[in-house]
């Protein structure tokens, strides 16, 4: 039950332009005004240009916490709230996105093995960041576009299911997100909070763990901005009576050893098979999964689930239930190392440029209609603090077409200096509960 906020009282009819003007001039909107806008926009009564104008006004003037909460609530109620069978604890994890971030693919089977239901509605690549759906679609046959009924059935029978947003879940966000994407209104705290939380609240899980990233490969470039985002999302979730925790994690360098859709699936298969243990990726994934277990009061046997092969089996079970077969992942025709242009220590990585280099290879979209080459990407990236000699590989590139641009982008992304690095980035910087 939603705590602390009463139902909106509808006032006299209002003109959309009056609401836009009010926000443009820095005033606080009422719940009725926000609901009027979101409902009208979702129904198609209110045109895109008015919604875009309001979104831009919000970008300039912000929203206080109540307004953000009301916006989230109007967006949740623009569609269905999933109705689960009683008796099971349901938990999800959401990441604000990064480079090489495949934590969802490890967490879903691990946590499902512990008896928690894990329904995950995931997204596609956004800007330089990779998307869980694109990674999953690298698996031949894998279907992410399931109906809500199939999503519920697989979550109930297998324990976890990963799909894309369905038209029934937070349709206001679906429409608004597409509009924000083309009107430079994505990067705005209240709009991000409402967008992410409306989908998660409509999913109707009991517990939600948020991985709020900061750094050169994240939406939020500074720790302060990501902290504010984390606090706002946690507070919205709590007001909805959910168990919510956010971990603030570092995204100043790629997570794990592989970047690119099929490569990242392979990395997860190797980790769950016990063949590979990239410390940064495992530390973040196991910390997030542990929070989900704690919500449900379950013992933390995550390491055992890897060594026993149970989590790998669960991952294959989910892939199979969603029509996929991970035994034949696409492989790029060519591989070649990208050499360091000079000797020294890695002081920093413009991590977004690594993401854009994947796109340059064809592994992401330049425009929405682009088809992805799932096989391309990078592996074994040098990380901050590592020493490299001139000509030594910074990472290994997998490619199918001319890789000249991607190679230049990667070399320019690495900041190599003569002196050793004294401070390596801390992986998990805050826990917000």
**Which stretches of the chain bind ligand URA, using CB under 6 A?**
123, 177, 186, 191-192, 195-196
From 35, 180, 200, 242, the catalytic residue: 180
Name the residue number minimizing CB distance to ligand URA: 195
CB of 186 to ligand URA, least distance (A): 6
Burial class from Cβ neighbours inside 10 Å (0-12, 13-18, 19+) for residue 91 reads buried
- Which one, 123 or 355, has the nearer CB to ligand URA? 123
Q: Least separation, in Å, of the C-beta of 249 and ligand URA? A: 15
Active-site residue 424, yes or no? no
173 as an active site residue: the answer is yes
Q: Tell me which of 22, 199, 242, 314 is the catalytic residue.
A: 199
Distance CA 24, CA 8 (A): 22
Termini Cα distance of the chain: 19
Q: Which is nearer to ligand URA, 203 or 407 (CB)?
A: 203
Least separation in angstroms between CB 196 and ligand URA: 5
**DSSP codes, 266-314:** HHHHHHHTTS---HHHHHHHHHHHHHHHHHHT----HHHHHHTSHHHHH
The tokens for 325 are 């077969």
Task: Examine the residue annotation and report whether 298 is marked as an active-site residue of this protein.
Answer: no
- Using alpha carbons, select from 176, 199, 195 the residue that is nearest to residue 54: 176
> Distance between CA 302 and CA 288 in Å, rounded?
11
Matching residue, tokens 């045109």? 47
* Shortest CB 188 distance to ligand URA, Å: 8
Which of 22, 94, 102, 242 is catalytic? The answer is: 94
Distance CA 393, CA 410 (A): 11
Nearest of 294, 284, 197 to residue 249 by alpha carbon: 284
Which residue number, 200 or 258, has a Cβ lying nearer to ligand URA? 200
Q: Which of 195, 226, 285, 350 is catalytic?
A: 195
- What's the closest the beta carbon of residue 219 comes to ligand URA, in angstroms? 7
Please identify which of the residues 92, 134, 173, 352 carries the catalytic annotation: 173
Question: Which lies closer to ligand URA via its Cβ, residue 97 or residue 324?
Answer: 97
CA distance 274 to 77: 43
Query: 399 has which bridge partners?
Result: 334
Query: Given the complex with ligand URA, which of 33 and 173 has the nearer CB atom?
Result: 173
What residues are labeled active site? 94, 173, 180, 195, 199
């Amino acid at each position: 039950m939603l705590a602390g906020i009463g139902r909106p009282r509808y006032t006299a009819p209002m003109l959309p332009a009056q609401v836009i003007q009010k926000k443009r001039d820095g005033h606080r909107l009422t719940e009725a005004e926000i609901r009027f806008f979101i409902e009208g926009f979702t129904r198609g009564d209110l045109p895109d240009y008015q919604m875009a104008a309001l979104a831009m006004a919000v970008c300039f003037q912000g929203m206080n916490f109540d307004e953000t909460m009301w916006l989230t609530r109007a967006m949740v109620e623009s569609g269905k709230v999933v109705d689960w069978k009683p008796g099971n604890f349901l938990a999800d994890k959401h990441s604000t996105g990064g480079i090489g971030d495949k934590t969802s693919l490890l967490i879903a089977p691990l946590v499902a093995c512990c008896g928690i239901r894990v329904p995950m509605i995931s997204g596609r690549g956004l800007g330089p960041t990779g998307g869980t759906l694109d990674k999953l679609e690298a698996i031949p046959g894998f279907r992410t576009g399931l109906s809500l009924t199939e999503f519920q059935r697989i979550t109930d029978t297998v324990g976890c299911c990963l799909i894309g947003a369905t038209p029934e879940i937070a349709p206001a966000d679906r429409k608004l997100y597409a509009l924000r994407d083309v009107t430079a209104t994505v990067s705005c705290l209240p709009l991000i909070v409402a967008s992410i939380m409306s989908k998660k609240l409509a999913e109707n899980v009991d517990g939600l763990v948020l991985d709020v990233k900061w750094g050169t490969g994240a939406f939020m470039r500074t720790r302060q901005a990501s902290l504010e985002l984390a606090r706002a999302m946690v507070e919205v979730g709590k007001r909805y009576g959910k168990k919510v925790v956010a971990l603030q994690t570092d995204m100043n360098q790629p997570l794990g050893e592989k970047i690119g859709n099929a490569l990242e699936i392979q990395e997860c298969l190797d980790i769950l098979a016990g063949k590979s243990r990239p410390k940064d990726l495992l530390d973040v994934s196991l910390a997030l999964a542990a929070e989900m277990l704690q919500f449900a009061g379950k013992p933390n046997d995550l390491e055992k689930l890897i060594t026993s092969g149970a989590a790998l089996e669960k991952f294959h079970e989910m892939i199979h239930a969603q029509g996929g077969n991970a035994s034949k992942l696409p492989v790029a025709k060519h591989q070649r190392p990208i050499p360091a242009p000079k000797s020294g220590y890695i002081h920093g990585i413009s991590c977004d440029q690594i993401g854009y280099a994947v796109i340059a290879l064809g592994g992401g979209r330049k425009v929405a209609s682009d088809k992805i080459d799932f096989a391309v990407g990078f592996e074994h990236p040098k990380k901050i603090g590592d020493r490299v000699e001139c000509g030594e590989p910074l990472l290994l590139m997998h490619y199918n077409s001319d890789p000249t641009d991607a190679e230049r982008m990667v070399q320019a992304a690495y900041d190599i200096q003569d002196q050793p690095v004294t401070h390596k980035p801390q992986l998990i910087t805050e826990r917000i509960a």
